[in-house]
Amino acid sequence: MNRGRLIVFSAPSGCGKGTMLAEITKNEKFCCSVSATTRDPREGEIPNVSYYYITKEEFLKKVEENAFLEHAQYVDNFYGTYLSEVEPRLEKGINVILEIEVQGAMRVREARPDALLIFVLPPSIAELRRRLNKRGTEEQDVIEKRVAQAKEEIEYAPKYDYVIVNDALEDAVDDFFSIIRAEELKAAKSGELINEVKKDA
Mean pLDDT of 39-46: 90
Report the pLDDT value the prediction gives residue 188, as an integer from 0 to 100: 61
The answer to whether the Cα torsion of 79, 82, 83, 86 is positive or negative is negative
Q: Name the average pLDDT for the chain.
A: 90
Which pLDDT value is given to residue 189?
Answer: 63
- State the average pLDDT over residues 111-123: 94
pTM of the model: 0.81
Closest among 183, 28, 25 to 118, alpha carbons compared? 183
Q: Map out the domains of the chain as residue ranges.
A: 6-198
Counting Cβ atoms within 10 Å, is residue 11 exposed (0-12), middle (13-18) or buried (19+)? buried
pLDDT at position 1: 59
Q: Is the pLDDT assigned to residue 10 strictly greater than 90?
A: yes
* % pLDDT > 90, the chain: 63
Asked if the model's pLDDT at residue 138 lies above 80, the reply is no
Pick 6-198's CATH classification: 3.40.50.300, 3.10.20.740, 2.130.10.30, 3.40.640.10: 3.40.50.300
